[in-house]
């Protein structure tokens, strides 16, 4: 964007064009929605100030141009990877006129924590509950109107793969940008000490163009990457203001007395958002298999202080055992079949009188290597990836990342990388 107030994170837009940021967790159909809305009017390139590739596309509605930014998938605005940092920076400082948070209707609870975070930084938000067709097939019903009342922002159901709900979604975006909808964004209820600390900092943060409550909470978290991005976006370090520095010191004393410093503070804030998201899901989602009570018991087992690590190790060991043991028989069959073909190829080359170097290069070299790789790798992959897809669909992989995040941070990494290891 040209003009006064531009920062390093702002997306280039044409005159009169409205910018809409599409954000959401991975595997919620965000890119499918983006493709359905933009068609062939897309551009892929590096995001401003970053080497992370992203996509922008244009959508025209009633003669009005919209620039849609498909942000990298993220579980939280507390960025732990370059992709999440890009999503956070463009959402918070990119000058978007509105945001659309895409959620999975079949696993709504997992997305509502992110929704609450986005509402703190961008009140002009539309919640897109996607994959409604799949949810209906699984017997899950979402009370969209009830969720909208509780969140205080428009909520629209879509099935992007079938192009259902796209017009109501963009109508809601248009109404939000033009101020034709009364917005009352829901806020997570943080512990009393956190609320008191926010109350001390919020009145003195000054004019930043960002919601003062979110700025206060971010300053208290003090995450280095976010602080650097905020300084770059605003052109100044808010913490250097004397009034802000004094308020931060007083607020930190309040948090210290409550034992909420460092990681404990972030965990308290995140836990409050997750709890509120779970409450919203229980109040607005019907038909979840096993019922909410059974789900809460299982969740306590998988994420409890004393049971989470044994449960995680046992489950991952089970996946590993199934992969190795289950792949043995098909691997042997593939090996026998492929090397039977090798013998036949050898006989063919001998029958044709082919020179030894050609037989060695093609049969004993290229074909034998391909046969070994296929026989050894294909069966485990055919078992391993569906199992991990199942764990992802059940919502357990994000919990593994959460459980191991603290340990991996000590090594300069993040919990999500535990899954690849």
Euclidean distance between CA atoms 385 and 241, whole angstroms: 52
Percent of the chain at pLDDT > 90 equals 50
Structure tokens at 286: 């019907």
Structure tokens at 24: 């959401």
Euclidean distance between CA atoms 208 and 69, whole angstroms: 23
Euclidean distance between CA atoms 229 and 89, whole angstroms: 7
**How confident is the model at residue 307, as a pLDDT?**
82
Length of the chain: 421
Which DSSP state fits 159? B
**How confident is the model at residue 3, as a pLDDT?**
42
Q: What would the pLDDT profile of 131-154 be if each residue is shown by its tens digit?
A: 999 888 888 899 999 999 999 999
Q: Do domains 18-177 and 192-301 have the same CATH topology?
A: no
Which DSSP state fits 164? B
Predicted confidence band of residue 124 (pLDDT cuts 50, 70, 90): very high
Predicted confidence band of residue 40 (pLDDT cuts 50, 70, 90): low
**How confident is the model at residue 402, as a pLDDT?**
72
Euclidean distance between CA atoms 256 and 272, whole angstroms: 18
pLDDT at residue 43 tops 60? no
Query: What is the mean pLDDT of the segment spanning 198-222?
Result: 91
Residues in contact with 268: Cβ distance below 8 Å, sequence separation at least 6, in sequence order: 190, 191, 194, 260
Phi/psi of residue 276, each to 5°?
A: -65, -40
**How confident is the model at residue 5, as a pLDDT?**
47
pLDDT top residue among 332 and 301: 332
Predicted confidence band of residue 7 (pLDDT cuts 50, 70, 90): low
Range among 49-58, 64-73, 85-94 rated most confident: 64-73
Instruction: Look up tokens 């409205």; give the residue.
Output: 18
Phi/psi of residue 235, each to 5°?
A: 75, 10
pLDDT at residue 126 tops 90? yes
Superfamily of 18-177 according to CATH: P-loop containing nucleotide triphosphate hydrolases (3.40.50.300)
pLDDT at residue 6 tops 70? no
Beta bridge pairs of residue 126: 100
For residue 313, CA distances in Å to 224, 338, 400 come to 32, 36, 10
- Nearest of 113, 103, 75, 142 to residue 276 by alpha carbon: 113
**How confident is the model at residue 337, as a pLDDT?**
94
pLDDT at residue 364 tops 90? yes
The CATH T-level fold of domain 192-301 is Helix Hairpins (1.10.287)
**How confident is the model at residue 294, as a pLDDT?**
55
258: three-class secondary structure by DSSP: coil
Helix (H) or strand (E) run with residue 377 in it: helix 368-393
Between the two ends of the chain, the Cα-to-Cα distance in Å is 41
Query: What is the mean pLDDT of the segment spanning 63-91?
Result: 84
pLDDT at residue 319 tops 80? yes
Q: Is 146 exposed, middle or buried (0-12, 13-18, 19+ CB in 10 A)?
A: middle
Percent of the chain at pLDDT > 70 equals 90
3-class DSSP string for 86-108? HHHHHHHHCCCCEEEEEEEHHHH
Mean pLDDT of the residues in the chain: 86
Predicted confidence band of residue 2 (pLDDT cuts 50, 70, 90): very low
Which DSSP state fits 147? H
pLDDT top residue among 368 and 52: 368
- Nearest of 269, 196, 212 to residue 244 by alpha carbon: 212
Residues in contact with 342: Cβ distance below 8 Å, sequence separation at least 6, in sequence order: 363, 367, 368, 371
241: three-class secondary structure by DSSP: coil
**How confident is the model at residue 299, as a pLDDT?**
67
Euclidean distance between CA atoms 95 and 7, whole angstroms: 9
Note the pTM of the prediction, 2 decimals.
0.73
pLDDT at residue 155 tops 90? yes
**How confident is the model at residue 291, as a pLDDT?**
44
**How confident is the model at residue 145, as a pLDDT?**
96
Structure tokens at 3: 């003009």
Q: What would the pLDDT profile of 156-176 be if each residue is shown by its tens digit?
A: 999 998 999 999 999 999 999
Least trusted range by pLDDT, from 156-170, 199-213, 335-349: 199-213
Instruction: For the beta carbon of residue 362, count every other beta carbon within 10 angstroms.
Output: 14
Instruction: Look up tokens 């409890």; give the residue.
Output: 304
pLDDT top residue among 26 and 406: 26
Q: In angstroms, how far is CA 188 from the centroid of its own chain?
A: 19
Helix/strand/coil percentages in the chain, nearest 5: 60, 10, 25
**How confident is the model at residue 42, as a pLDDT?**
59
Predicted confidence band of residue 288 (pLDDT cuts 50, 70, 90): low
Residues in contact with 56: Cβ distance below 8 Å, sequence separation at least 6, in sequence order: 11, 42, 43, 45, 67, 68, 69, 70
Domain ranges in the chain?
A: 18-177, 192-301, 308-413+416-420
């Amino acid at each position: 964007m040209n003009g006064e107030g531009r920062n390093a994170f702002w997306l280039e837009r044409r005159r009169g064009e409205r910018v809409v940021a599409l954000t959401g967790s991975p595997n919620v159909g965000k890119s499918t929605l983006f493709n359905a809305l933009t068609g062939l009017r897309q551009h892929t390139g590096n995001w401003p100030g970053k080497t992370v590739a992203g996509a922008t596309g244009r959508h025209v509605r009633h003669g009005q141009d919209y620039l849609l930014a498909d942000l990298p998938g993220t579980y939280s605005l507390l960025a732990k990877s370059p992709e999440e940092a890009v999503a956070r920076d463009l959402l918070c400082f990119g000058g978007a006129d509105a945001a659309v948070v895409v959620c999975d209707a079949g696993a709504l609870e997992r997305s509502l924590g992110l929704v609450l975070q986005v509402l703190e930084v961008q009140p002009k938000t539309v919640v897109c509950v996607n994959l409604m067709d799949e949810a209906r097939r699984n017997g899950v019903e979402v009370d969209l109107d009830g969720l909208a009342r509780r969140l205080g922002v428009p909520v629209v159901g879509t099935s992007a793969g079938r192009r259902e709900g796209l017009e109501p979604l963009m109508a809601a975006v248009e109404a939000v940008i033009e101020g034709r909808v009364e917005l009352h964004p829901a806020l997570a209820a943080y512990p009393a000490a956190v609320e008191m600390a926010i109350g001390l900092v919020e009145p003195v943060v000054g004019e930043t163009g960002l919601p003062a409550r979110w700025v206060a909470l971010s300053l208290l978290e003090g995450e280095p990457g976010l602080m650097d991005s905020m300084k770059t976006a605003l052109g100044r370090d808010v913490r250097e203001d004397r009034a802000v520095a004094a308020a931060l010191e007083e607020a930190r004393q309040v948090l210290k007395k409550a034992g909420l410093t460092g990681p404990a503070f972030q965990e308290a804030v995140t836990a409050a958002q997750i709890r509120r998201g779970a409450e919203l899901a229980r109040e607005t989602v019907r038909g979840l298999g096993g019922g909410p009570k059974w789900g809460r018991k299982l969740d306590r087992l998988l994420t409890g202080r004393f049971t989470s690590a044994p449960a995680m190790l046992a489950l991952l060991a089970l996946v590993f055992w199934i992969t190795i043991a289950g792949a043995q028989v098909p691997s042997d069959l593939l090996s026998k079949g492929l090397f039977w073909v090798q013998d036949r190829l050898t006989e063919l080359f001998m029958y044709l009188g082919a020179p030894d170097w050609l037989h060695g290069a093609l049969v004993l070299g290229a074909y034998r290597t391909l046969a070994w790789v296929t026989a050894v790798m294909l069966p485990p992959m055919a078992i391993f990836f569906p199992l991990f897809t199942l764990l992802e669909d059940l919502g357990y992989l994000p919990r593994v990342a959460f459980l191991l995040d603290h340990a991996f941070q000590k090594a300069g990494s993040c919990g999500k990388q535990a899954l690849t290891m």
